[in-house]
Amino acid sequence: MGPLIEEYAKRLKLSWIRQHYHEVEATSNEEFLLKLMEQEIQQREERKTNLLLSQSQLPEVPSVPFIWDEIDYTQGLTRNYFLEGEFLSKKENLIFHGGVGTGKTFLSTVIGLNAIQSSAKNIKFFTVANLVNRLLDAHEKGTIGRFHKQLEKLDLLILDELGFIPLHKQGAELLFQVISLCYERNSLIITTNLRFGEWNHVFGDPILTEAVIDRLIHHSHLVVFKGPSHRMKESLLQN
């Protein structure tokens, strides 16, 4: 019977059952079936989480706990609002503003990781420079439509480091297209060291800048990272 069970499990794509059914111990048929189903489901969920994690391109999360006292956010919001994906279900955006080493990348990574692990959300992390390079490349190769479709399917797009480098005209326009695409469709987290008034330096055109800010702030919360640079603190501690 063994080979047939394995054959049928394969056809039904029950890979845990195919490999492990003979190890399961139970006192009734029902208990046996239940255990098989539970293990199969668990393995599928683990596989899905791992796939989402590898597709997300999230950086590694620092091993220290995140200090929440060093950020300011709109009254009424809670840590759970960020961590349990409430802003995702409302398709809201988060703008993280603050100086270097204050935890913007850290918190956006923690939020992304949580969204994958607790609710199997489809997310992607890019630095703005990276995304713009990908967009320019896709534009040149004529594959921008396909790339947009991938981005449309995301629940959350994290754009890190807006403002580190100014964009060329075409890069700014392609980034604007992505922000428009996400508008009211999926959530964005944008981290930046610039105030809105300075975004013109990145987009290089006041009308385009206004259009970007207009779309973003419509459903957004501003989170201000006011702490000292932890990076500096860490390197001072090492010396």
Choice between 174 and 189, CB closer to ligand ATP: 189
Interface ranges with ligand ATP (CB under 6 A):
62, 64, 66-67, 70, 98, 100-106, 161, 193, 225, 227, 230-231
- Residue 213 Cβ, how far from ligand ATP at the closest point, in Å? 20
- Residues numbered 168 to 187 that lie near Mg ion (CB under 5 A) are none
Cβ contact 225:69 at 8 Å: no
Q: Is 192 in the site for Mg ion (CB under 5 A)?
A: no
Work out what residue 112 binds among Mg ion, ligand ATP, none; the CB cut-off runs from 5 to 8 Å by kind.
none
CA quadruple 233, 234, 235, 236: dihedral sign: positive
Which residues 6+ apart lie within 8 Å of 127 measured at CB? 159, 160, 161, 164
Choice between 43 and 193, CB closer to ligand ATP: 193
- Residue 17 Cβ, how far from ligand ATP at the closest point, in Å? 42
Cβ contact 114:108 at 8 Å: no
- Residue 61 Cβ, how far from ligand ATP at the closest point, in Å? 8
Choice between 204 and 227, CB closer to ligand ATP: 227
- Residue 15 Cβ, how far from ligand ATP at the closest point, in Å? 37
Token pair recorded at residue 155: 């629940």
Beta bridge partners of 124: 157
Choice between 106 and 203, CB closer to ligand ATP: 106
Nearest to 187 by CA among 73, 81, 49: 81
Which residues 6+ apart lie within 8 Å of 118 measured at CB? 84, 85
Cβ contact 186:157 at 8 Å: yes
Work out what residue 64 binds among Mg ion, ligand ATP, none; the CB cut-off runs from 5 to 8 Å by kind.
ligand ATP
Q: How far apart are CA 69 and CA 72, in angstroms?
A: 8
- Residues numbered 98 to 127 that lie near Mg ion (CB under 5 A) are 105
Residue numbers at the binding site for Mg ion (CB under 5 A):
105
